[in-house]
Every structure is written in C-alpha cells, then in structure tokens.
Amino acid sequence: MSRPRREYPGLPAVVLRVSEAIKVDIWSDVQCPWCYIGKRKFEDGAAQFGGDVEVEYHSFELSPDTPVDFDGNTVDYLSQRKGMPVAQVEEMLERVTGIAKSVGLDYDFEHVHQTNTVIAHELLHFAKSKGRQLDMKERLLKAYFVEGHHVGRIADLADLAAEIGLDRAEAVAALEAHSYLADVKADVAQAQAYGIQGVPFFVIDGKYGVSGAQEAAAFANVLEQARTGRDAAQSDSAEMDSADTDAESEQVAP
C-alpha cells in the first residue's frame, strides 16, 4: 500500500504514518474447546496490547466425518467412536471445564451435541458477508459449549443467526443452497497451505504463527512484536525516501 506523502518547498518529502490495525486471521472450529478458551485469552491479550486489531475467523474442520445427528455427547463420541476409556475422557473434560471456568466460560459437556460443523462454518461466512462474523462466532461457541444447542442443523443455526439480528430466511436460503461452502473449503485449503494441523491457530499480520490457547500475555507480546516490526519497516522506508529526496535535490542543485 502506498504511503501518503506531503511535500513542502525546500524540505524533504514527509511520510505520514498511517495507523493501521494489525490483522489477525484465526483458524478455529466450533466444537473445539481450546478455540473458545483461546478466543477469550486472545481477547484479553489484545486488550493488554491496546492497539487496533482486526480479527477474521477462518474455517477448520476437526472432525469432518462426524454425522450431523450423532446420538450422544462428547464423552459418548470419544469413547464410542474413538475408543478412549470413559474415565479418561471424563477426566480430560473435567480439566478442560476447569480451565474454561478460569476464563469465565461455563462449559457443559454433559449437554453438548456432538455434530458435524461444516454448515456452522458456512453460517460464519454468511455472517461475514453481513459484517457480523465476530458476533456469530461468539454465539455459536456459546450455543455449543455452554447452552447445549445443536449447531449442525440448518434450522437451529438459522435461529442463532436470527438471535444476532441476521435475517433468518436469508440465512436458511444461503445454508440450504450451500452458498458459502466454497469459502469454507478455501479456508481449509489455506490452512493446509500454511501447514496448520491444529486449532486454534492465529496468523498475526501475515507473518507470525501462534498455535493453541496461549496465555494472554503471549498474544499481547506477539501483537507488540508485529507492531514493532511494522514501525521498523516504516522507519527504514522513510529513511530510503529521505535519501532518495536528498539525491534528487543534489541532481537539480545548480
């Protein structure tokens, strides 16, 4: 992007620094417990950072082979389909629930509806087209982990869309037509191109990769690192511009 230049007679060109938000692309799945916890920690870290941050969520399907109407909760799913001992699953979920509680989230795995999330991802793209992706993401995560809503069926998803003010009929039409499926697949392909294997995964300013539900301070640090990197690049560029202007002045000097 070109930087605005203001020129004054007899003085070198001045490069005006434009404050731009740091872009954060987040790959995440709706039924990923660390994604919701990581979302809270990232938000805390962004608040500590204090600068402008622009967030965009991207689709990642952890378990694309899960049926929409799996009859059971997370314990049933992991024990029946993945062969994990029930006691081990329960202990794992108990620990995750405790960590979620520490960031203000009341996970209720007993009432979770394990499902296929591809249509939920399509809804997130639909919401993005309306400028409401962040609200939709929060609503979906809360619906799934806290409130025990089903997030795999179009009717349930459309209800959630309507709750945040989106047009329910329009959402149903978009989901039934799978108008945003290609966008979901493009996100998944982009994740593969980056080499992303797990979520949540954060790409900061297109340069830094952060995997997992890091502590808030870690997010704040990398955001600061991105800002510092930008400032250094702008400073170098400004010096080059100034040198160019000096050279031009010497050439036209009598």
103 is an interface residue for other proteins by CB under 8 A: no
Structure tokens at 44: 């805390």
Among 113, 190, 107, CA closest to 157? 113
Sketch the per residue contact string, 128 through 157, with other proteins: x for CB under 8 A, - otherwise: ------------------------------
CA 53 to chain centre: 12
Gap between the Cα atoms of 249 and 254, Å rounded: 10
Letter string b/e over residues 133-159, b meaning 16 or more CB atoms within 10 A of that residue's CB: bbbbbebbbebbbbeebbbbbbebbbb
Gap between the Cα atoms of 57 and 28, Å rounded: 7
Sketch the per residue contact string, 221 through 240, with other proteins: x for CB under 8 A, - otherwise: xx--x---------------
Least distance CB 20 / other proteins (angstroms): 19
What letter does residue 81 receive in the DSSP assignment?
I
Least distance CB 186 / other proteins (angstroms): 7
Least distance CB 178 / other proteins (angstroms): 15
> CA 12 → CA 113, 193, 247, 248, 253, distances in Å?
64, 43, 10, 10, 14
Least distance CB 122 / other proteins (angstroms): 15
| Residue from 13, 14, 62, 162 in contact with other proteins (CB under 8 A) | 62
Indicate the burial class of 74 (C-beta count within 10 angstroms; 0-12, 13-18, 19 or more). Answer: buried
75 is an interface residue for other proteins by CB under 8 A: no
**Pick 10 or 83: Cβ nearer other proteins:** 83
211 is an interface residue for other proteins by CB under 8 A: yes
Residue 136: its H or E element: helix 133-145
**Pick 158 or 196: Cβ nearer other proteins:** 196
Q: Which stretch binds other proteins (CB under 8 A): 9-17, 49-57, 148-156, 220-228?
A: 220-228
190 is an interface residue for other proteins by CB under 8 A: yes
| Residue from 76, 185, 224, 238 in contact with other proteins (CB under 8 A) | 185
- Residues contributing to the site for other proteins (CB under 8 A): 29, 32-35, 37-38, 62-63, 77-78, 81-82, 88, 91-92, 95-96, 99, 185-186, 188-190, 192-194, 197-201, 203, 206-215, 218-219, 221-222, 225
